[in-house]
Amino acid sequence: MNAQRAKEIYDSSENIAVQLDDGQSVWIEKVDVANGVATVQVGQSPTNTQTVGVDRLKEATH
């Protein structure tokens, strides 16, 4: 995904499922569009956060 789409998901009032490229579900906490990275919460643990390139994020398909 690109940084702009990640920002749209972050700003959305809808709950849009996002995954890392390894299939882990994540919640976008912050998007740095200029640098193309996002801080995400992995799984259900609020303390498990990672900063990843937005190219590693994808919208989950149900």
Domains defined along the chain, listed by start: 3-59 (2.30.30)
Residue 53 reports pLDDT greater than 90: yes
Residue 44 reports pLDDT greater than 80: yes
pLDDT reported for residue 62: 60
pLDDT in tens, 7-17: 999 999 999 99
- β-strand partners of 41: 27, 49
Q: Look at residues 62, 46, 44, 51 and name the one whose alpha carbon lies nearest to residue 6.
A: 51
Residue 54 reports pLDDT greater than 90: yes
Helical H segments across the chain, by residue range: 3-11
Question: DSSP class of residue 23?
Answer: S
